[in-house]
Amino acid sequence: MLRILYFAWLRDQLGCPGETLPLPQGVRSVQDLIDRLRARGGAYGEIFARPELIRVAVNHSFATIDAPVAANDEIAFFPPVTGG
């Protein structure tokens, strides 16, 4: 099962902090997962229509959209992080 977490404005728009789902068939990378989530439409379609505005972590490590995804992974989506 994938554990997907949403933070900040993503959580607010979706109305939930995360979800757990079986690894969808054909999902092998973060990009595949983003495509699958965007295809849900509604708030998911809006959020994932511009993936350049979203950062991702796979199993607590920053990742790129071409990072592999496997069953039992934790995927976190969040806005860009700034510091100062």
The residues, ordered by sequence, that sit 6+ positions from 63 with a Cβ below 8 Å of its Cβ are: 30, 56, 57
Task: State how far the alpha carbon of 73 is from the alpha carbons of 6, 45, 58, 61, in Å.
Answer: 14, 22, 7, 11
| Structural domain total, the chain | 1
> Does 84 fall in a domain?
no
CATH code of the domain containing 32 = 3.10.20.30
Could you list the residue range(s) of the whole structural domain that residue 44 is in? 2-78
pTM for the structure as a whole = 0.93
The three-class DSSP label of residue 34 is helix
The three-class DSSP label of residue 69 is coil
* pLDDT, tens digit, 9 for 90 and up, residues 43-69: 999 999 988 889 999 999 999 999 999
* pLDDT, tens digit, 9 for 90 and up, residues 12-55: 999 999 999 999 999 999 999 999 999 999 999 999 998 888 99
